[in-house]
């Protein structure tokens, strides 16, 4: 059977593949600890669940405006102005999608195509490259140096620009490295974007998960960048709403108008009653974010100390998000071999760093959005495997 080239060049999501294999082993009765995905172990806060339930009972179970329900668009505009210093018209410059990933996909489909290039600093989230490829464009990786804390420089970025470059994707805090971009890094991106008339997609979905005093800066607030920026965000991480599938993109109106065409002809609209829950998330109590961040802060210390104590492993400081990007080069194993052995022998699922680009080789990503007990057991199993001792 013949398939479209845009599909055959794309591989399965590495993080989903790891979780699927872990689930398959679990169904066979294997005691698997799955640290491969990015799903918070918290249940969505009660006031958000209740709002969605009330909306369903009130009959909000039908199609809604493709852009999003007015109440949510207004709440998003208020949030972006209040928390991020960004000004967007809720009626024309924000679009709500079923997940941040869908917002990214629809935006890329609207902006780039065959002959265009998209610059992606790596290590990078596993879906950026496939989304660019599905849009028919060419991803251009810029390798970030591990020994310089994954810092992006103007020189490295400018060297990747060609006459075909259309867009730069940035993600801060970063999945998978946890790096939080400093102002000087953002200014470097802004300078290159201005010099070459480029757009910048800023994925800010981990904005609330910061540690050690690090500060999130929304890229669109930099001088001259408001009209060049496509701000991507969502509810999955900050509010533990992964299964609700709700994200959004904010950009100038002529961009959103084109993204809306892709969105309306593919998914029609985001789920109606889910949007009511999102309104409650934005306008209701925010202490749930602080509570989850406190738990992640504790777990971050647990995994950093635990993996740094294992000979051959090093866990660099984690500045944001809820992932540890553990350096396994001291074991003599590449990231794929290490991850495979850890799953097969110790029954701990992590994602090989090479899944995030060649710059991630030698590292593995694990999520600490899991219970303290599971994380401690995963550390112990990893140590036993590397010692050659029976795991369990």
Distance between CA atoms of residues 366 and 350, nearest Å: 5
Domain boundaries, the chain: 5-44+287-387, 46-283
Return the pLDDT at 389: 76
User: Is CATH 3.30.499.10 the right assignment for the domain spanning 46-283?
Assistant: no
Instruction: State the number of CA atoms in the 13 A half-sphere of 375 facing the CB.
Output: 23
* 125 CA to centre of own chain: 6
Predicted confidence at residue 308, as pLDDT, reads 98
Q: What percent of the residues of the chain are helix, what percent strand, and what percent coil, each to the nearest 5?
A: 45, 15, 40
Domains 5-44+287-387 and 46-283 share a fold: no
- E strand or H helix at 274, and its extent? helix 272-283
Separation between Cα atoms, residue 145 and residue 342, nearest integer Å = 26
Instruction: Read off the pLDDT of residues 191-223 as tens digits, 9 standing for 90 and up.
Output: 999 999 999 999 999 999 999 999 999 999 999
Q: In the chain, how long is the greatest CA-to-CA distance?
A: 61
392 residues of the chain, pLDDT tens digit each:
888 888 888 877 767 777 788 888 888 888 999 999 889 999 999 999 999 999 999 999 999 999 999 999 999 999 999 999 999 999 999 999 999 999 999 999 999 999 999 999 999 999 999 999 999 999 999 999 999 999 999 999 999 999 999 999 999 999 999 999 999 999 999 999 999 999 999 999 999 999 999 999 999 999 999 999 999 999 999 999 999 999 999 999 999 999 999 999 999 999 999 999 999 999 999 999 999 999 999 999 999 999 999 999 999 999 999 999 999 999 999 999 999 999 999 999 999 999 999 999 999 999 999 999 999 999 999 999 999 877 76
pTM: 0.95
Note the pLDDT tens digit of each residue in 96-119: 999 999 999 999 999 999 999 999
Looking at CATH, the fold of the domain delimited by 5-44+287-387 is given as: 3.90.1150
């Amino acid at each position: 059977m013949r398939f479209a080239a845009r599909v055959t060049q794309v591989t399965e999501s590495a993080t989903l593949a790891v979780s699927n294999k872990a689930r398959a082993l679990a169904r066979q009765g294997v005691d698997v600890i799955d640290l491969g995905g990015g799903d918070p172990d918290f249940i969505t806060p009660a006031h958000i669940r209740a709002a969605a339930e009330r909306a369903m009972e009130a009959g909000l179970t039908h199609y809604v405006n493709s852009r999003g329900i007015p109440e949510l668009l207004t709440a998003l505009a208020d949030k972006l102005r209040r928390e991020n210093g960004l000004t967007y018209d809720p009626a024309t410059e924000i679009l709500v999608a079923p997940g941040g990933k869908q917002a990214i996909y629809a935006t890329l489909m609207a902006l780039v195509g065959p002959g265009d290039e998209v610059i992606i600093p790596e290590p990078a989230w596993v879906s950026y490259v496939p989304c660019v490829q599905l849009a028919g464009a060419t991803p251009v990786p810029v390798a970030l140096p591990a020994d310089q804390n994954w810092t992006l420089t103007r020189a490295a970025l400018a060297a990747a620009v060609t006459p075909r470059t259309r867009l730069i994707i940035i993600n801060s805090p970063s999945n998978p490295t946890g790096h939080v971009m400093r102002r000087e890094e953002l200014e470097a991106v802004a300078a290159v974007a201005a010099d070459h008339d480029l757009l910048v997609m800023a994925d800010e979905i981990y904005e609330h998960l910061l540690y050690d005093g690090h500060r999130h800066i929304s890229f669109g607030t930099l001088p001259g960048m408001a009209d060049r920026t496509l701000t991507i965000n969502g509810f999955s991480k900050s509010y533990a709403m992964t299964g609700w599938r709700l994200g959004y993109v904010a950009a100038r109106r002529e961009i959103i108008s084109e993204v809306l065409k892709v969105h309306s002809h593919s998914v029609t609209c985001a789920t109606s009653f889910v949007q009511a829950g999102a309104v409650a998330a934005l306008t209701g109590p925010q202490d749930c974010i602080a509570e989850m961040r406190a738990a992640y802060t504790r777990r971050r210390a647990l995994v950093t100390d635990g993996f740094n104590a294992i000979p051959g492993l090093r866990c660099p400081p984690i500045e944001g998000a809820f992932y540890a990007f553990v350096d396994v080069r001291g074991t003599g194993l590449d990231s794929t071999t290490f991850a495979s052995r850890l799953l097969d022998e110790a029954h701990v699922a992590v994602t090989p760093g090479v899944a995030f680009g060649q710059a991630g080789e030698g590292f593995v990503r694990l999520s600490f959005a899991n219970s303290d007990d599971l994380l401690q057991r995963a550390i112990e199993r990893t140590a036993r495997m590397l010692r050659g001792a029976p795991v369990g």
